[in-house]
Structure 1
Amino acid sequence: MEYPVYNDASEIVSVCPEYAAQNDYHAMYSSVFSGIVTDPKLMTIPVDDHLVHRGDGVFEAFKMVDGKVFLLDEHLARLERSAGDIFLELRHSKEEMIAICKQLTEVSGLKDILFRLYASRGPGGFTPNPYASVGPQLYLIASALRNPAPELYENGAKIGFSQVEIKSGGLAKVKTCNYISNVLMAKEAVDQKLNFMINVTADGLLGEGPTENIAYLNQDNELIYSSFDHTLRGTTLLRLQELSGELQAEGLISGMREAKQSADELYNAKEVFMIGTTLDALPVVEVAGKVVGDGKPGPVSKLARKLLKKDQQENGTVL
């Protein structure tokens, strides 16, 4: 069998298949051609970019709700830290990235957006040598924001403990594009008909989900989240800690803190919930087959979600 040979980019676009997810992709900026495309078939990355063949890059995902971007400064600050940790120079300044987001918003016409920003080492050969690259690149995509189904908040999520080895301390703290362990955790969840998997350190300490942090309310009404020695510093999690005084004022918690805790502590928790950019605070009603509390979403997760949504409305960034 002989395959067709294409010598013109327009020919490629005409034969590229379409799939349902593309309906959510509205605009993408690429530094390769320093411009924006709106056809999902053109939202591509060079195959010899280190991002593709080595996972050599860093990324952030942040959302716009009703025209306001939540925790924009915090996400871009973490991007800068992650890039520094792998000695990657960012191609664009913070101000330039914000300007790109603004133009993507205008082009897409959306008010509710999930921005996905990828900073790469760039193309230039297929070796692992970072100095072979022609230079760093930036890819920024504006897609329609899709929130979890309301029923998931009403009924709560079910989680399990992952068998995938947790990332080493250094890599766990950097939001790199090498996410194979996260992918395998997500596969575990689907295969086991669960909503999320949580990883665990070799000595049994509580980790995190594939793209989410986890917190639980212990018997002393302390809201505990995993140590950042082996998990990513979640922007939404840290914002909730800043807002946690209101949870204390309502008498729901005695405090909120980071701690190295055994994963088994989840079995005795009054409440458990996942925390992340697209989730806000999502209650967990079952851990590895064991019911949490009375098996229903609790008041802490409900108020935490309410506080985060209020914060988005009142303090989000208008581009």
Structure 2
Amino acid sequence: MKTWIDGRIVDTAAATVNVTDHGLLYGDGIFEGIRVVAGRVFRIDRHLARLQVGAKAIGLELPRSPDALREIVEQTARAHGQREAYVRLVITRGVGPLGVDPTTCERPGLFCIVGPIRLFSDEQRKRGLDLITSSHRRPNADALDMRVKSLNYLGSALAKLEARQRGADDALLLNARGHVAEASVANVFTLHGDVLSTPPATDGCLEGINRAAVMQIARSIGLDVRERSLGRLDFFGADEVFLTGSGAGVIAMRSLDGRTIGAGEQGPVTARLTSLHRRLAETEGSEIIPASEGQS
């Protein structure tokens, strides 16, 4: 693993952050999780655009221009040298005195980590995921807008912990109205016939980059793609359900709360979307780590 910090790239084990950084103390900051696929950084411009909006939403000035941030990501990915990797680009409020006041931080902090990620095993990908409905809820957008990819992931961590303690792979989170928001760190889709549905951002989900890519692909193969509120009943009655995310990729869901979904395995549409999503990521954008240089 490699990390860009303080203007240089080091082994991640050697990277250090000041313990009074408000990103560490209060979760005050934002980040992007980005995939490197076949030596290409997938949709980095869209990630950086979302980062800019998130920064504006929390009153945080980005310490570098989007072009400079892109260069940092690409440099760190090249240093890591793997054609398949995960990028974590982090902007913190910065170092400051104890106390939650953001105005006491003189300048934002910045670091970029590139390394491997394996949220789910090959076996889980083959069979599909078992999810439970978490007892933790996503907050209303007027309390905390989940479209801001902030450093505070406690709700997601607790939902994931609950799932693992109950013998499941992941958790489905509802909002205060009982509508499905998303999984712990992934967007969700249901398929009924040729209608592919995903919750709108107003129901408490992140507007995922890979979510948008899958919606684009699905429309190109003739599916009727809709953003609409979903309940647990929509999952129980679905032909197929799957998750999407930078870390998760596209992965089928086979059960919810012990009830089988569809045929209880990856369905044909999910398999096709998985393949097409991979093909898109392998061909879109510039190849920054050629096959002759990197390792898969």
Same topology, TM > 0.5:
yes
**2: CA distance between counterparts of 1:173 and 1:213?**
12
* 4+ residue segments displaced more than 3 Å: 145-148
**2: CA distance between counterparts of 1:268 and 1:57?**
39
- Total equivalences in the alignment: 285
Q: Is residue 209 from structure 1 mapped to residue 209 from structure 2 by the alignment? A: no
User: CA 1:46 to 1:177, structure 2 compared with 1: closer, same or farther past 3 Å?
Assistant: same
Specify the alignment match of 1:4 in structure 2: none
On the 8 A contact 1:247/1:304 being kept in 2, the answer is: no
SS in 1 for 2:205: coil
Q: Is residue 235 from structure 1 mapped to residue 209 from structure 2 by the alignment? A: yes
More strand by share: 2
Specify the alignment match of 1:114 in structure 2: 86
Specify the alignment match of 1:149 in structure 2: 121
Q: Is residue 102 from structure 1 mapped to residue 102 from structure 2 by the alignment? A: no
Specify the alignment match of 2:45 in structure 1: 73
Among 195, 203, 222, which residue is 2:195 paired with?
A: 222
Larger relative contact order (C-alpha < 8 A, sep ≥ 6)? 2
Structure of greater Rg: 1
SS in 1 for 2:136: coil
Q: CA deviation at 1:145?
A: 4.3
Specify the alignment match of 1:280 in structure 2: 249
Specify the alignment match of 1:136 in structure 2: 108
Specify the alignment match of 1:181 in structure 2: 155
Among 194, 199, 216, which residue is 2:173 paired with?
A: 199
Q: Is residue 29 from structure 1 mapped to residue 4 from structure 2 by the alignment? A: yes
Specify the alignment match of 1:41 in structure 2: 13
User: CA 1:305 to 1:89, structure 2 compared with 1: closer, same or farther past 3 Å?
Assistant: same
State the Cα RMSD in Å. 1.5
Q: CA deviation at 1:111?
A: 2.0
Q: CA deviation at 1:167?
A: 2.3
Specify the alignment match of 2:132 in structure 1: 160
Q: CA deviation at 1:96?
A: 0.7
Tell me the TM-score normalized by structure 2.
0.92
On the 8 A contact 1:27/1:108 being kept in 2, the answer is: yes
**2: CA distance between counterparts of 1:241 and 1:27?**
32
**1: CA distance between counterparts of 2:197 and 2:218?**
12
Unaligned segments of structure 2, at least 5 residues: 289-296
SS in 1 for 2:196: strand
**2: CA distance between counterparts of 1:161 and 1:80?**
32
On the 8 A contact 2:33/2:247 being kept in 1, the answer is: no
**2: CA distance between counterparts of 1:271 and 1:107?**
39
Segment of structure 1 superposing worse, 104-113 or 142-151: 142-151
Percentage identity across paired residues of the two chains: 26
On the 8 A contact 2:139/2:176 being kept in 1, the answer is: no
**Letter of the structure 2 residue corresponding to residue 245 of structure 1:** R
Q: Deviations over 1:167-198 (max 9, x none)?
A: 23143221000111011011011101111101
**2: CA distance between counterparts of 1:147 and 1:211?**
10
SS in 2 for 1:76: helix
**Letter of the structure 1 residue corresponding to residue 177 of structure 2:** D
**Letter of the structure 2 residue corresponding to residue 304 of structure 1:** L
On the 8 A contact 2:41/2:74 being kept in 1, the answer is: no
User: CA 1:109 to 1:261, structure 2 compared with 1: closer, same or farther past 3 Å?
Assistant: closer
Unaligned segments of structure 1, at least 5 residues: 1-25
Q: CA deviation at 1:213?
A: 0.3
Specify the alignment match of 1:14 in structure 2: none
Q: CA deviation at 1:73?
A: 1.1
**Letter of the structure 1 residue corresponding to residue 150 of structure 2:** T
SS in 1 for 2:182: coil
SS in 2 for 1:296: coil
